[in-house]
Amino acid sequence: MVGIQIHTTVNCRMLKHWMVVLLLLWSCIKVAENLQPGRTQRAAPYPRRAKRGWVWNQFVVPEEMDIRQHVGQLRSELDNGNNSFQYKLLETGAGSFSIDERTGDIFAIQKLDREEKSLYILRAQVIDTTTGKAVEPESEFVIRVLDINDNKPKFLDEPYEATIPEMSPEGTFVIKVTANDADDPATGYHARILYNLEKGQPYFSVEPTTGVIRISSKMDRELQDTYCIIIQARDMLGQPGALSGTTIVSITLSDINDNKPIFKESFYRFTVSESAPSGTTIGKIMAYDDDIGDNAKMDYSIEDDDSEIFDIITDNETQEGIIILKKKVDFEHQNHYGIRAKVKNHHVDKELASAHVNASSTYIKVQVEDEDEPPAFLLPYYIFGIPEEKQHGSIVGTVSAIDIDRRQSPIRYSITGSKMFHIHDNGTIITTNLLDREVSAWYNLSVTATETYNEQQMSSAPVYVQVFNINDHAPEFSQYYETYVCENAEYGEIIQTISAIDRDESIEDHQFYFNHSVENTNNSSFILRDNKDNTAVILTNRTGFSLKEEPVFSMIIFIADNGIPSLTSTNTLTIQVCDCGESGSTETCTSKGLLFIMGFKTELIIAILLCITVIFGFVFLMLAMKQRRKQTQFPEKSEEFGENKFCYDDEGGREEDSEAYDIVELRSSAVIRERKSWRSKSAEIRSFYRQSLQVGPDTAIFRKFILEKLEEANTDPCAPPFDSLQTFAFEGTGSSAGSLSSLGSKATDQEDNFDYLNDLGPRFKRLACMFGSTMQTNN
């Protein structure tokens, strides 16, 4: 077996470094050591049938070689150099490599990148060109791409951010960074990375092999709260020619409560009015804390304030201290105050307690401003007592108020709440009426004090007046007693138990004494016995009573109280004799009395209802009659009558009608009809002429028609005046010109004189001719 010849060509231009050359030589030595004899097969076209064959193995080629770089040579042991063999590279490697068919040299036709593909498996075949047949079977060989350091380290998890507490001790872990190198880690130190801190000293450091960043010096957030450091990663263990990559790490310091709040102002001055109510805001103070967030929350307090007049609270939004008035101040009592306030953080960890000793404080001076205040009563309320029935003007008590301001204004008093009292300018309260405890035992008054210099300033105080009781009411029966005695009552039989009441108020319990009058005691059918317990019983003093002879008895009873002085009242008890029947009980008498009362009440109620019914009926009748009078007298002619209801205010023909004419008289009065019928013919014609001026021209036809209608109306006593005369039937006395109606004219034969019409001018000439000619004709 003959070994295959291997020729390896290295492009020196690709070797940038002497290490690359050494690595290539080392790789070639390893390949030569691994060469092993391959299989041999007899070539078919040769008659000697001697064994022939060719050997395959792997080739090593560096990545990033130039195009058409020589990789190696395939050569069959049967090839005698007569150029009769043809070497072919099958399709599996045609894309990246080519072969010289005559010599068997293999070339790379494109740049190789180990990071993309590090191993190629190819197939080749030798063909005899004279016969066109394969000299040997297909054979595989391997081309391995050798790595060179052509990739720089890259950081995987960018960007890097970290947060650590301020003032952390040295060596505190911050963050770990990691870089990756795409080169072959098995080839030299191409993928061996070392980390280096390019920016960030002296506060941080990085471990070279792990990329762990640690604190190398304490840092204060109040001085600087963020840091940006740069970490470099170099391959080949940082040796010359190594490639590198960098990343930026952002580090933020979180706050810890390592600073106590401090007042920048050591003195504050505020003012407050003495009229300010409790809870009034006086002013604000402010402390400053370099910490942030919850570490900057503060609590304000007041030191050693025995007066407890002021208080301080914290505004959670602005962290200001708000001074408020806890109690009202009085300028006249004290016009200024001095307090000291301190501040501390709301929460402090035990580890940082040493930084918060000796809390900061400030001094606050509060000046009280004087105000014109209303008068002040010496007591918040007054209670007085006075016996009842005291005479008018009796003194009840005295109230007093003063002006607490410097000018000491005089005070004027007034009283409200009752008209039973009056108050003088000096505050003395007197009575204006007699007081009766039984009417009112207490009086609630309100006394107002007003400054004379400023009437707007006033104040009030309640005054309670108690009316003391005196024994001015005698005792009396506690109720009305209906007492009955049976006709067959026996001697000493109890017929009634009585008790008494007293409207007076007694310190001790009331004690009443009952007694029978002397007259009734000597000659009485009944006797009284005092039970000594504020009650007494009435007993019969004989046997048998007669309802017919003496049905009713009156018994006089005296009742005395235990007041000072004692009062006695005289009371009359009425006793009725009753026929108790076989039962012998007065309950039947009580029932009969009740039935009698109920019957009497029923009759009374019925009588009252009848009276009310009669009254309402009379009222309705009057209203109906009044309404009927207002209706139209002639309902069948209501439309015609309605047309003639006018009010004339023009001067008429000198005829006067002093009163309104009622059409009812036209129906009922025959005298008026007779008056019209007695009128002479000439008077009728003159009346016709007067009316004709309103109805149309002076023609014979109209004259005749009107005269006929007038005659019919005068001769018919039942017909209403439906002719033109009824125009004046409803005229009253309201016209200033007088009445125009002739209904009320006197029925005489005396003729009117119309000569004055000739003196009125040409407009009245026609009237003068008409009436003048008529007069001549009549004459």
Instruction: Read off the pLDDT of residues 431-458 as tens digits, 9 standing for 90 and up.
Output: 999 888 878 889 999 999 999 888 888 9
Q: Has residue 101 got a pLDDT over 70?
A: yes
757 versus 523: the higher-pLDDT residue is: 757
Mean pLDDT of 627-634: 60
Structure tokens at 220: 């204060």
pLDDT of residue 626: 80
The label of the residue with tokens 């005559």 reads 102
Contacts of residue 604, defined as CB under 8 A and 6 or more positions apart, other chains included, come to none
107 versus 246: the higher-pLDDT residue is: 246
pLDDT of residue 262: 92
Q: Has residue 674 got a pLDDT over 90?
A: no
Q: How far apart are alpha carbons 347 and 519 in whole angstroms? A: 101
pLDDT of residue 622: 87
Q: Tens digits of per-residue pLDDT, 158-195?
A: 899 999 999 999 999 999 999 988 887 777 777 788 99
pLDDT of residue 663: 43
Burial class (CB in 10 A: 0-12, 13-18, 19+), 276: middle
637 versus 421: the higher-pLDDT residue is: 421
24 versus 497: the higher-pLDDT residue is: 497
Count Cβ neighbours within 10 Å for each residue of 704-740 and write b for 16 or more, e otherwise: eebeeebeebbeeeeebbeebbbbbbbbeeebeebbb
Contact between 84 and 49 (Cβ < 8 Å): no
Mean pLDDT of 407-422: 89
Burial class (CB in 10 A: 0-12, 13-18, 19+), 329: buried
98 versus 277: the higher-pLDDT residue is: 277
Confidence of residue 506 (pLDDT cuts 50, 70, 90): low
188 versus 465: the higher-pLDDT residue is: 465
Cβ count within 10 A of residue 142:
13
Looking at the DSSP bridge assignments, the partners of residue 273 are 369
Q: How far apart are alpha carbons 56 and 37 in whole angstroms? A: 8
pLDDT of residue 740: 52
Q: How far apart are alpha carbons 260 and 69 in whole angstroms? A: 76
**Segment holding 23, helix H or strand E:** helix 18-33
Mean pLDDT of 349-357: 84
Q: How far apart are alpha carbons 645 and 656 in whole angstroms? A: 19
Average pLDDT, the chain: 76
pLDDT of residue 155: 92
Q: Has residue 280 got a pLDDT over 70?
A: yes
Q: Has residue 676 got a pLDDT over 80?
A: no
Ranges of H-type helices in 631-744 = 638-643, 663-668, 670-677, 681-695, 700-715
pLDDT of residue 406: 76
pLDDT of residue 86: 83
Q: Has residue 323 got a pLDDT over 80?
A: yes
DSSP characters for 265-293? Answer: -SEEEEEEETTPPTT-EEEEEEEE-SS-G
Q: Has residue 691 got a pLDDT over 80?
A: no
C-alpha dihedral over 58, 64, 68, 74, to 10 degrees?
0
The label of the residue with tokens 């019928």 reads 677
Q: Has residue 87 got a pLDDT over 60?
A: yes
Structure tokens at 103: 């010599």
139 versus 538: the higher-pLDDT residue is: 538
User: Minimal CA–CA distance to 62: which of 98, 99, 14, 26?
Assistant: 14
Q: Has residue 116 got a pLDDT over 70?
A: yes
Q: Has residue 148 got a pLDDT over 80?
A: no
Confidence of residue 675 (pLDDT cuts 50, 70, 90): very low
Q: Has residue 71 got a pLDDT over 60?
A: yes
Q: Has residue 329 got a pLDDT over 80?
A: yes
pLDDT of residue 746: 46
Most confident range (mean pLDDT) of 135-139, 305-309, 398-402 is: 398-402
717 versus 246: the higher-pLDDT residue is: 246
Contact between 215 and 204 (Cβ < 8 Å): yes
Most confident range (mean pLDDT) of 227-241, 659-673, 680-694 is: 227-241
Q: Say which range, 107-111, 370-374, 747-751, has the weakest mean pLDDT.
A: 747-751
What phi, psi does 555 have (nearest 5°)?
A: -120, 125
SS (H, E, C) 151-178: CCCEECCCCEEEEEECCCCCCCEEEECC
**In whole angstroms, how far apart are CA 568 and each of 29, 448, 468, 533?**
155, 44, 21, 17
Q: How far apart are alpha carbons 282 and 264 in whole angstroms? A: 20
Q: How far is CA 574 from the centre of its chain?
A: 71
Q: Has residue 294 got a pLDDT over 80?
A: yes
Q: Say which range, 166-170, 332-336, 729-733, has the weakest mean pLDDT.
A: 729-733
SS3 338: strand
Contact between 613 and 644 (Cβ < 8 Å): no
Q: How far apart are alpha carbons 205 and 134 in whole angstroms? A: 68
pLDDT of residue 136: 81
pLDDT of residue 176: 94
For the chain, what percent of residues have pLDDT higher than 70?
Answer: 73
Q: How far apart are alpha carbons 720 and 62 in whole angstroms? A: 154
Q: Has residue 225 got a pLDDT over 80?
A: yes
pLDDT of residue 253: 94
For the chain, what percent of residues have pLDDT higher than 90?
Answer: 26
Contacts of residue 463, defined as CB under 8 A and 6 or more positions apart, other chains included, come to 381, 382, 383, 384, 397, 399, 415, 429, 444, 445, 446, 447
pLDDT of residue 228: 95
Q: Tens digits of per-residue pLDDT, 642-651?
A: 444 445 454 4
Q: Tens digits of per-residue pLDDT, 239-264?
A: 787 888 999 999 999 999 888 999 98
Contact between 160 and 248 (Cβ < 8 Å): yes
Cβ count within 10 A of residue 25:
11
